[in-house]
Amino acid sequence: MELIEKQKKLRENGYKEALRYMDNAKDSLEKAGKEDGYYQDRKYIKTACGTAYSGVLLALDIYLMLKGIPRPHKRKRLSIEYYESNIGQLDKKLLKELDVVYHILHLDGYYDGIQDAMLIKRGFDTAFEIIGRIKPA
């Protein structure tokens, strides 16, 4: 019973924290300003996308722990290959969602500052889908 309670607490806290990241990301995105379907300020776009991607990684860490796959390094950054490999063994749909979020939010948004509002919306929507997988019952 104690294990179930720990998992429940992990899920609740992780879900709340991941949503907090997404709220902060949305706030940053609003600061970017939008005109004609494009965000204007790349600084805020990059901040928003990086924060949203971090929220997804947090949710994925929780997801993997709940599936019995502990995080190998507490403080060390993990590669995308780590997530792809482990998630690919568990859930092919989640792997596809991770691919979308990785490319849109991390590469296009965080690194390149892509300004296309529809593309960024797709990344955020998929991020919320991933985070929803750890939503408490």
CATH, residue 34: 1.20.120.330
Per-residue pLDDT of 85-126, as tens digits, reads: 999 999 999 999 999 999 999 999 999 999 999 999 999 999
How far apart CA 105 and CA 50 sit, in angstroms, is 7
Q: Scanning the structure block, which residue is given the tokens 């429940």?
A: 8
**56 SS3 class:** helix
Element at 49 (helix H, strand E)? helix 42-66
One-letter amino acid at 83 equals: Y
Q: Is residue 47 part of a domain?
A: yes
pLDDT value at residue 137: 83
Q: Please tell me the distance from the alpha carbon of residue 87 to that of residue 133, in angstroms, as a whole number.
A: 13
72 found inside a domain: yes
Cα–Cα distance for residue pair 48/106, rounded to 1 Å:
10
Residue 66 is predicted with a pLDDT of: 95
Residue 118 lies in a domain: yes
Q: Are 134 and 11 in contact (CB under 8 A)?
A: yes
pLDDT at position 70 is 84
Overall domain count for the chain: 1
Look at residue 3 and tell me whether its pLDDT is greater than 90.
Answer: no
Let me know: does 135 contact 22? Beta carbons within 8 Å: no
Query: How would residue 42 be classed by pLDDT, with cut points 50, 70 and 90?
Result: very high
State which residues form the domain around 67: 2-132
In a domain, 137, yes or no: no
Q: Is residue 105 included in any domain, yes or no?
A: yes
Asked if residue 96 is part of any domain, the answer here is yes
Give pTM, 2 decimals.
Answer: 0.95
